[in-house]
């Protein structure tokens, strides 16, 4: 862990207190805006960078105190680099590594409750403080014989606070993401479902096993072994994966060759999941990967898995083809299916949205259009950023009372954004493989 | 343990268990010690050897839970290495675990809001004094390790505050309807953290110190 966070000062207990926490942050953010605009009167050249930084700090402080699902959302926002200004991103990426720890007596209690034994009697050694935080739980390192284990323990009551947290978060998201309320509601359900899934540790073990078996053949990719007999609803025991987190690894100045290798492994992993398994590890943030010796990649967290429905899959990816040779009606049908346009739109709206989405998708699909793609290319990411800006400031979009885009797209977009982002940080040059049917 | 004390213990436990069962099955106290003793197939006099009244039995239930908690805690290897904060946490978690075995009884007796008024039931007295001794040792230890800041007058009140916290946790647990009482776990964790953060050295101490300095050097 690079940043040692302060021990928690206080954790708000009841729903009312949690709400109060959000309100006070809301007020702070409001205050930051006021400060910004008054300063701007005096000094018109002031940019919004400082404002964003202040906001990010205040929001992060309050989110990390609330822990659980709110922290999860912070992580999610951190991932959509292009959706949020850079200052937010930097502050939030801290959330991906560490949250204030929970006490050891509670860990002992959890063990006693599920195993009828304390951690000391199950393992030879067990760290009394968490070695890492995992947003809805924390990780302890344990040993038994000559084996090392990572033991993930879930915070109590996370599942039940997910729903109320999301409701509290809504006004925030509305303001931060410039979304209208209906649009948000459409996605909130999807987020809620996924977050609740993430609190289900038993499901996580099953999925981890499934995916790690199905991806076993990919070269340079490692998975920890999961121990079902030492896992349950609140505890997951798996192999301890030695290696470095992405940021630490990048600090060692790896060669371009190494960067390409790690990046390519990552790409192959996602390629296989999306196109063959049709279910995908939808949480590609840096904290979930470890880079091991020989530049091999280990995947350590399967909390968030998105199953891709067949009809969504074919629609979504047929748009990525370089030259859309599909007929106009077929294209319309895909747009309908993906809920980009609907019968309630006027013809001008229809053509406007169709064009915008096509532009967006062809930009996001650009890496697929060539044999290899250099993700170090910051210009490409600036283009995505600019397009996202354009969309979020666009009047037609903001006026539109409709939600656009299928809810399934939420996590698929997030996955690809996350993947591109990781590859960008890695500066990898990737052979962008794709399934046969996508090659045109 | 000699034969005699063993016998005493079982008789005492028999009375406690008999009393609890009666409350659970009928919803109220036994009509009289005579009837109660008869049901347990013992002489009324035997009852008075251990308890003077039913209130004394209720009192014993609390003390018994406390003793069991401390026993379980000290049985844990790691307990000795705990900080004061962790000791209080450990106590509360273990205590609630113990209470779980008697939840129906406790709900029957205290679930109707008899703990609401400030004057708590007298049968908690023995438990309170035992707990305060325990709290006292925690506070002293905390002062030694500087986990708890020494503040004139206030420090003496800390054990009282911890006692209020125990009552808070108990009330919270009685009303808790979350699966596996995990909300109580969270309540314990959060309230103890808050308490120890307040008791630890903070900006206020530095402020008082600074203000004193300014006042004195005027």
Sort out which chain A residues have CB atoms less than 8 A from B193's CB and list them: 8, 10-11, 103
Size of interface A-B (CB pairs under 8 A): 68
| Residues A78, A70: Cα–Cα separation, whole Å | 12
One domain, residues A179 and A326: no
Q: For chain A, which residues score pLDDT lower than 50?
A: 1-13, 18-27, 29-30, 38, 63-72, 74-75, 77-99
The verdict on a CB contact (< 8 Å) between B81 and A128 is: yes
* Residue pLDDT, tens place only, B91-113: 999 999 899 988 999 888 887 76
One domain, residues A304 and A432: yes
Counting Cα atoms < 13 Å in the Cβ hemisphere of A118 gives: 20
Decide if pLDDT at B69 tops 90.
yes
One domain, residues A166 and A289: no
User: Mutating which of A11, A103, A200 best tests the B interface, going by the most B Cβ atoms within 10 A?
Assistant: A103
Tell me whether residue A200 is in a domain.
no
One domain, residues A367 and A280: yes
One domain, residues A172 and A268: no
Handedness of CA A275, A278, A284, A289 (dihedral sign): negative
Tell me whether residue A367 is in a domain.
yes
ipTM: 0.73
Of B97, B183, B185, the CB nearest to A106: B185
The verdict on a CB contact (< 8 Å) between B178 and A155 is: no
Handedness of CA B85, B88, B93, B96 (dihedral sign): negative
The confidence score (pLDDT) of residue A388 equals 66
Strands A125-126 and A137-144: antiparallel
Q: Does B78 touch chain A (CB under 8 A)?
A: yes
Of A11, A102, A156, the CB nearest to B182: A156
The confidence score (pLDDT) of residue A58 equals 57
One domain, residues A174 and A263: no
Q: Does A16 touch chain B (CB under 8 A)?
A: no
Handedness of CA B190, B193, B199, B205 (dihedral sign): negative
Q: Does A9 touch chain B (CB under 8 A)?
A: yes
Sort out which chain B residues have CB atoms less than 8 A from A17's CB and list them: none
pLDDT, mean of residues B177-200? 86
Q: Does A11 touch chain B (CB under 8 A)?
A: yes
Min CA distance, B93 vs chain A (Å)? 7
Average pLDDT over chain B reads 85
User: B1-52 maps to which CATH number?
Assistant: 1.10.10
Tell me whether residue A206 is in a domain.
no
* Residue pLDDT, tens place only, B6-43: 566 678 888 888 999 898 888 888 888 888 888 888 88
The verdict on a CB contact (< 8 Å) between A8 and B86 is: no
Tell me whether residue A51 is in a domain.
yes
Direct distance between the N- and C-terminal alpha carbons of chain B, in angstroms, rounded to an integer? 68
Sort out which chain A residues have CB atoms less than 8 A from B90's CB and list them: 105, 108
**Residues sharing a CB contact under 8 Å with residue B59, sequence separation 6 or more, in sequence order:** B122, B123, B124, B125, B126, B127
One domain, residues A180 and A268: no
Tell me whether residue A391 is in a domain.
yes
Please identify among residues 94-113 of chain B the ones whose CB lies closer than 8 Å to any CB of chain A.
Answer: 94, 97
Report field, pTM of the whole predicted structure over 0.80:
no
The verdict on a CB contact (< 8 Å) between A108 and B78 is: yes
Q: Give me the number of domains chain A comprises.
A: 2
The confidence score (pLDDT) of residue A135 equals 61
* Residue pLDDT, tens place only, A194-235: 777 878 888 889 988 888 889 989 988 999 999 988 998 889
The verdict on a CB contact (< 8 Å) between A11 and B190 is: yes
One domain, residues A261 and A186: no
Domain with CATH 1.10.357 in chain B: 54-209
Decide if pLDDT at B114 tops 80.
no
One domain, residues A310 and A415: yes
Q: Does A333 touch chain B (CB under 8 A)?
A: no
Smallest CA-to-CA distance from A135 within A153, A160, A111, A110 is with A153
| Residues A69, A184: Cα–Cα separation, whole Å | 17
The confidence score (pLDDT) of residue A184 equals 64
Q: Answer yes or no: are the C-beta atoms of A144 and A120 closer than 8 Å.
A: no
The confidence score (pLDDT) of residue A341 equals 75
Q: What CATH architecture is B54-209?
A: Orthogonal Bundle (1.10)
**Cβ-based neighbour number of residue A384 at 10 Å:** 18
| Residue-range definition of the domain harbouring residue A395 | 243-440
Tell me whether residue A369 is in a domain.
yes
Decide if pLDDT at B180 tops 90.
no
The verdict on a CB contact (< 8 Å) between A105 and B180 is: no
**Cβ-based neighbour number of residue A213 at 10 Å:** 10
Min CA distance, B130 vs chain A (Å)? 21
The verdict on a CB contact (< 8 Å) between A105 and B90 is: yes
């Amino acid at each position: 862990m690079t940043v040692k966070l302060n021990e928690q000062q206080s954790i708000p207990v009841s729903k009312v207190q949690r709400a109060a926490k959000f309100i006070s942050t809301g007020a702070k953010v409001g205050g930051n805006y006021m400060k910004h605009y008054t300063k701007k009167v005096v000094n018109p050249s002031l940019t919004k960078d400082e404002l964003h930084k202040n906001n990010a700090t205040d929001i992060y402080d309050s989110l990390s105190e609330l822990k659980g699902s709110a922290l999860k959302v912070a992580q999610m926002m951190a991932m959509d680099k292009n959706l949020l200004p850079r200052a937010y991103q930097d502050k939030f990426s801290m959330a991906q590594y560490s949250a204030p720890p929970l006490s050891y007596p509670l860990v002992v209690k959890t063990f006693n409750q599920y195993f009828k034994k304390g951690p000391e009697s199950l393992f030879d050694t067990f760290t009394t403080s968490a070695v890492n935080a995992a947003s809805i739980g924390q990780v302890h390192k344990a040993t038994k014989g000559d084996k090392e284990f990572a033991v993930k323990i879930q915070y109590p009551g996370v599942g039940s606070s997910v729903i109320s947290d999301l409701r509290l978060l809504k006004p925030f998201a509305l303001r931060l993401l410039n979304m209208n309320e209906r649009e948000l509601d459409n996605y909130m359900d999807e987020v809620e479902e996924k977050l609740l899934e993430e609190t289900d540790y038993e499901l996580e073990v099953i999925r981890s096993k499934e995916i790690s078996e199905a991806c076993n053949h990919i070269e340079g990719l490692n998975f920890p072994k999961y121990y079902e007999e030492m896992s349950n609803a609140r505890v997951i025991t798996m192999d301890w994966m030695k290696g470095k987190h992405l940021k630490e690894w990048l600090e060692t100045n790896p060669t371009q060759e190494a960067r390409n290798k790690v990046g390519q492994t990552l790409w192959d992993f996602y390629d296989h999941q999306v196109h063959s398994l049709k279910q995908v590890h939808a949480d590609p943030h840096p904290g979930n990967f470890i880079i091991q010796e020989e530049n091999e990649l280990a995947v350590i967290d399967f909390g968030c898995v998105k199953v891709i429905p067949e009809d969504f899959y074919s629609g979504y990816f047929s748009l990525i083809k370089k030259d859309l040779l599909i007929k106009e009606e077929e294209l319309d049908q895909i747009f309908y299916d993906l809920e980009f346009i609907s019968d309630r739109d006027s013809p001008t709206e229809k053509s406007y949205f169709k064009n915008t989405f096509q532009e967006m998708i062809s930009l996001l699909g650009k890496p697929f259009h060539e044999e290899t793609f250099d993700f170090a290319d910051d210009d490409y990411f600036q283009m995505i950023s600019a397009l996202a800006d354009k969309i979020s400031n666009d009047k037609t979009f903001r006026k539109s009372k409709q939600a656009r885009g299928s809810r399934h797209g939420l996590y698929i977009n997030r996955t690809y954004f996350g993947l591109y982002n990781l590859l960008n940080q890695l500066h990898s040059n990737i052979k962008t493989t794709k399934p046969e049917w996508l090659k045109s | 343990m000699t034969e005699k004390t063993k016998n005493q213990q079982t008789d005492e436990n028999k009375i406690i268990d008999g009393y609890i069962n009666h409350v659970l099955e009928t919803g109220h106290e036994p009509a009289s010690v005579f009837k109660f003793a008869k049901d347990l197939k013992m002489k009324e006099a035997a009852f008075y050897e251990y308890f003077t009244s039913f209130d004394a039995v209720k009192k014993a239930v609390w003390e018994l839970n406390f003793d069991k908690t401390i026993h379980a805690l000290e049985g844990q290897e790691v307990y000795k290495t705990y900080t004061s904060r962790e000791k209080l946490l450990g106590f509360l978690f273990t205590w609630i675990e113990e209470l779980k075995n008697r939840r129906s009884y406790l709900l029957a007796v205290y679930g109707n809001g008899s703990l609401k008024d400030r004057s708590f039931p007298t049968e908690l007295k023995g438990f309170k004094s035992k707990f305060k001794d325990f709290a006292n040792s925690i506070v002293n230890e905390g002062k030694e390790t500087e986990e708890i800041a020494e503040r004139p007058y206030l420090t003496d009140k800390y054990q009282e505050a911890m006692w209020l916290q125990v009552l808070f946790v108990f009330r919270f647990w009685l009303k808790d309807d979350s699966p596996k009482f995990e909300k109580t776990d969270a309540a314990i964790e959060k309230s103890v953290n808050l308490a120890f953060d307040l008791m630890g050295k903070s900006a206020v101490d530095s402020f008082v110190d600074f203000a004193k300095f300014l006042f004195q050097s005027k």
